[in-house]
Amino acid sequence: MDPVFLVEALPAGDRAVLDGEEARHAATVRRLRVGERLVLTDGRGGAARCVTESVQGGRDALLSLRVEESWFEPEPGLRVVVAQALAKGDRGELAVELATEAGVDEIVPWRAARSVAKWEDGPRGDKALARWRSTARAAAKQARRTWLPPVTEPMSTKQLAALAGEVDLALVLEAEAGVRLPDVALPAAGRLLLVIGPEGGIGADELAALSDAGARPVRLGQTVLRTSTAAAVALGALGALTPRWP
């Protein structure tokens, strides 16, 4: 399958140039050669399939391309926003990777009370957020997505509750919830917020605040999932239960 590369803007004509880090990856890692095809995407639904006409490797890598076709893929009618609690080690980045591959439309880092990881304001927090964004970018390319899910600034529980009150439906994954996800009436369009708790679970006060804002606790099944895998599993279920998977 043709590899995907993210660019700021798609070519307006029948010729294009790929440079910078994406060109270095194409020339050095993917080892693309003259005559091979690739796909450019702007991460906002636009895409262009191109043929490589020349390749220059090294620090100043550059690929000259001929555009064969261009197209636009609309966003799904039902957009899923995942609020992912901060997780220790690389589990947060794994959660972002899997959710992006599973089709999440937006990711909100959540500063849950029981999160072991703490993103303080300043350089360390900025670095952690940058890693999540870089992970989403790489996963979107791997999954051949034309939409790059944004990763927002981290939210507090109060901010997350406000978001829950704004969306069309908010669901909180909770292992002990009495309602199963398949039994919930899901909208066909709009915004759905999916809240994923930390390793230690969602605190009672947090669950109450989210419920007061209109969020509904639901469970996926009989087993307890890790915070790093829960969003991806739920996104798969939502894809099958709604028109998100055509």
Residue 33 confidence (pLDDT): 95
pLDDT tens figures, 177-194:
999 999 999 999 999 999
Residue 173 confidence (pLDDT): 96
Both 56 and 98 in a single domain?
no
Residue 140 confidence (pLDDT): 97
What kind and span of H or E run contains 72?
Answer: strand 62-72
Residue 95 confidence (pLDDT): 98
Both 82 and 66 in a single domain?
no
Residue 200 confidence (pLDDT): 87
Q: Is the pLDDT of residue 67 over 90?
A: yes
Residue 246 lies in a domain: no
Residue after which a domain boundary falls, among 72, 91, 108:
72
Residue 28 confidence (pLDDT): 92
Residue 224 confidence (pLDDT): 86
Q: Give the domain CATH number at 168.
A: 3.40.1280.10
Residue after which a domain boundary falls, among 26, 46, 72:
72
Contact 54, 18 (CB under 8 A): no
Give residue 28's domain range.
4-72
Q: Is the pLDDT of residue 222 over 90?
A: no
* Structure token pair of residue 237: 């279920």
Both 183 and 64 in a single domain?
no
Question: Considering Cα of 193, then 199, then 201, then 203, what sign does the dihedral take?
Answer: negative
Q: Which of 224, 201, 231, 193 is nearest to 116 (CA)?
A: 201
Both 116 and 20 in a single domain?
no
For the segment 199-228, the average pLDDT, to the nearest whole number, is 94
Residue 223 pLDDT grade (very low, low, confident, very high; cuts 50, 70, 90): confident
pLDDT tens figures, 72-100:
999 999 999 999 999 998 999 999 999 99
Q: Report the C-alpha gap between 131 and 35 in whole angstroms.
A: 34
Contact 165, 214 (CB under 8 A): yes
Both 225 and 109 in a single domain?
yes
Residue 16 confidence (pLDDT): 96
Secondary structure of the chain: what % helix, strand, coil (to 5)?
30, 30, 40
Residue after which a domain boundary falls, among 72, 99, 128:
72
Residue 73 confidence (pLDDT): 96
Q: Give the domain CATH number at 64.
A: 2.40.240.20
Both 172 and 227 in a single domain?
yes
Both 99 and 134 in a single domain?
yes
pLDDT, averaged across the chain: 95
Q: How many domains does the chain fold into?
A: 2
Both 132 and 191 in a single domain?
yes
Residue 128 confidence (pLDDT): 95
Q: Report the C-alpha gap between 6 and 115 in whole angstroms.
A: 32
Both 12 and 34 in a single domain?
yes
Select the more confidently predicted residue: 246 or 219: 219
Here the contacts of 122-125 (C-beta below 8 Å, separation 24 or greater) are: 125/154
DSSP conformation letters of 180-210: BGGGS---SSEEEEEEE--TT---HHHHHHH
Both 174 and 97 in a single domain?
yes
Q: Is the pLDDT of residue 109 over 90?
A: yes
Residue 121 confidence (pLDDT): 86
Q: Is the pLDDT of residue 221 over 90?
A: no
Residue 198 lies in a domain: yes
Q: Is the pLDDT of residue 59 over 90?
A: no
Q: Is the pLDDT of residue 208 over 90?
A: yes
